[in-house]
A and B are shown apart, each in its own frame.
Chain A
Amino acid sequence: MAEPCLVLKTTLDPEVSENQSAANSEDSRVKRRLSFPSEKQISSREEPSLTYLDLSLQCLSDDSNSPQPTDEKLSVTVPNGTDVCSEQREEDKENTEIHQEEQQEEEEATSCQESASERHSNTEDRDAEVVRRAKEEGCVSVIFPGPVTQDGSYRFVSEILKCVLYQRQQLPMTYEQLVFSQKRRQQQRDAEDKDVVRPRKVHSADVDYKCQQTLQELEEVLHQLEVLFSLSRVPRVLLMMGGSLVLPKELYEINMEDLLLVGGDQGLRASSCLRLLFRTLFVADLLSDSRPVRLMPTTVLALAHRDCGVGWFRPKLQFKIPTRVKNQIIALATDPNVSEKQREKADWQDYVWFQAPVTIKGFSN
C-alpha cells in the first residue's frame, strides 16, 4: 500500500531564468515550454499503433485527486412559505432523474475501470509470460494479427540488427544517433575556416575513423540484406557475435518461418509491427546486461533460396547452427487464426545459408 505523500513541483520554469522567475512567478507557473520536435520525428501522420496486447488503464487510485461522485439530492428552499407542492414534485422528479443519471455514470465508470483493470491485468499476465519464456527458453515470440510484406520482414531484421548492436554495447549510440552525430561533425568541419590548420586530437580522430568504418560496414550489410530480401524469401537470419562461426560468444536468431507474407498493400504496416516487436523485446529484456560487454565482430547469416541469384552473400552449404552456445531466438509469426487459405505449407528444402563477407566490428568512445 502506497505511503501517504505530497506531490510537489517547482515553481521555476525551464523557460525562465532564475532572476526573472521572482518577478514573473505567476506567469511562469502558467507558461509552458515550447518544444521543437526534431526533424526525424516530424514525419507523416503517425500510423495507428498495433497493440496486440490487451489495453491497460493505469490505476493509481491513491494518487487520484478527482472528486468522487456523490448522491446528494438537490434541494431548494422557499423563503416566503408559498405552496410549492407541485413545484416540489417537479423538482423531486428532476432530482430523481439526475440521481439516476449519476448512478448510471457511476456504474459505467466502475464497469469501465473494471474492464480497464482486467485489460491491465491481462497485459501484466502476458508480459510476465514473455519474461518467463525469454529467461527459461531463450525465446521471444511476437505474434502479428495479420500478414506482412516482404519489405516489412526486411525492416524487422534491419531494425533488430541495429538494436542488438546498440544494446549489446557494440555501438556507443543508436545507429540513427550516430549518423546524425557524424553529419553534424562533418558540417562543423566544413564550416570551419579551411585555411586554418588545427591539429585534431589523436583520440578523437581515431574514434571518428572507427565510427565511420563501423557505419560503412553496417550500411553495407543492411543494403545487401535488402537486396537479398528482394530476391528471396528469408525465413531465418542469424547474428553471430564474437568467437567463430563454429563457436560464437553470442548467437541471436530471427525466425520468420511462421510469418505470412503478402504482396502490395495487403500487409500490416511495418511501423505498427515494429512497435509491437520492440515492446515485446523490451519487456523480455533479452538484450540488456548490467555487465560490460567487450567489443566483438558481428557476422550476419541468412537462409535464402539456393537459386536466388544473390551475389554479395557467400553460400555456406555445410554451415550448421552452433549448438554449444545458447541460441536466443526472436520468433516472428502471424496469428495462426488468420485465414487458412492464405497459408501455404512452407518448404525450406531448397534454402541454404548465406554469409555476409563483411563483419561489423563495432567501436566505443
Chain B
Amino acid sequence: MTSTLKGITLKGSAELVAEFFSFGINSILYQRGIYPPETFTRVTHYDMSLQVSTEPRLNNYLTNVVSQLKEWLFECSVQKLVLVITCLETNEVLERWQFDIECDKSAKESSSAPREKSIKTIQDEIRSVIRQITGTVTFLPLLETQCSFDLLVYTDKDLVVPDKWEESGPQIIDQSEEVRLRSFTTSIHKVSSMVAYKRTDSACST
C-alpha cells in the first residue's frame, strides 16, 4: 500500500477505499442473506470479525469490479457506488445501498504532499461504518423472496466506458425510506453511506 507513516497518498487512499468496498459489499451480502451464511468465512480485518464469501465466481466478479473501482478512485472520476438488491421473481428493487464518494482532486497534482491522517484512524472510522451495516439488520424489512444484486458505479460523464462495462439505469426504489450511516474519510476520499429500502405499510397489526 502506498502510504507512509506520515500520511496518505492518492494511491493509498484509493486502495483503502476499494478495500472498504470489498469488505463492505461482502458484509451486506452476508447480512441480507443474498448468499447462504455457510458460503462465508470469518476473517479478521480492521481489528474486527468480518464475513467474506468463499464462492469463487462471486469473488472473481467482486475482484473485477473493485479493481476497476480502484482505478477510478485514483483518477477521482467516481461519484457513487450503489449496491442494488432486487427481487428475482418480479425484478422489483427492494434495497439500495448507496456510497457517495467525494474526492479532493488537488491530491492528483504531482506536487501534492501525503495527507496527515493515520491508517489506524481511518480504519477505526471504517469499522464503525461496518458495525452500522450489521446493525441495520435489526430494522430493515426481511427479504423473504429470492434476491439478486447489482453493482452500479456513477462516474464522471466524460469517462470512456471500459470493456466489460455498460451504461445502466439508476434502479431506484418505488416509495422508499432511507437512513444515513456514518461516513469516513481518508482526507483525500470521503465516503458517505446510506441505505434506502422499500417502504412497508404503516398500519400496526394486533
A297 at the B interface (CB under 8 A): no
Contacts of A49 in B (CB 8 A): 141, 200-202
Q: How far is the CB of A3 from chain B (nearest CB, A)?
A: 6
* A8, A36, A65: the one within 8 Å of B166 (CB): A8
Chain A contributes a number of interface residues (CB within 8 A of B) equal to 83
B38 at the A interface (CB under 8 A): yes
A365 at the B interface (CB under 8 A): yes
Q: How far is the CB of B88 from chain A (nearest CB, A)?
A: 6
A48 pairs with B206, CB closer than 8 A: no
A96 at the B interface (CB under 8 A): no
A352 at the B interface (CB under 8 A): no
Provided the pairs A51-B199, A65-B170, A167-B135 are in contact, do residues A10 and B206 lie with their beta carbons within 8 angstroms?
no
A209 at the B interface (CB under 8 A): no
- Interface bracket on B: 35 or more
A49 to B199, CA, bound (A): 9
Contacts of B35 in A (CB 8 A): 35-36
Provided the pairs A56-B176, A172-B49, A268-B204 are in contact, do residues A14 and B144 lie with their beta carbons within 8 angstroms?
no
* A12, A36, A184: the one within 8 Å of B61 (CB): A12
A317 at the B interface (CB under 8 A): no
Contacts of A38 in B (CB 8 A): 33, 36-37
A65 pairs with B169, CB closer than 8 A: yes
A278 to B136, CA, bound (A): 8
The digit string for B17-35, where 1 denotes a CB below 8 A from any CB of A, is 0000000000000000111
A172 pairs with B48, CB closer than 8 A: yes
A55 at the B interface (CB under 8 A): yes
The digit string for A1-33, where 1 denotes a CB below 8 A from any CB of B, is 001111111111111111001000000010011
A306 at the B interface (CB under 8 A): no
- A residues with a Cβ closer than 8 A to B are 3-18, 21, 29, 32-38, 40-43, 45-53, 55-58, 60, 63-65, 116, 123, 127, 145-146, 159, 163, 166-167, 172-174, 180-181, 184, 265-269, 272, 274-279, 281-283, 285, 288-292, 365
28 contacts between A and B (CB under 8 A): A4-B157, A5-B79, A5-B154, A5-B155, A6-B154, A6-B156, A7-B154, A9-B151, A32-B148, A34-B88, A34-B148, A35-B88, A36-B36, A36-B146, A41-B142, A48-B200, A50-B204, A58-B176, A58-B196, A60-B170, A60-B172, A64-B172, A167-B135, A181-B42, A282-B132, A282-B136, A282-B179, A365-B49
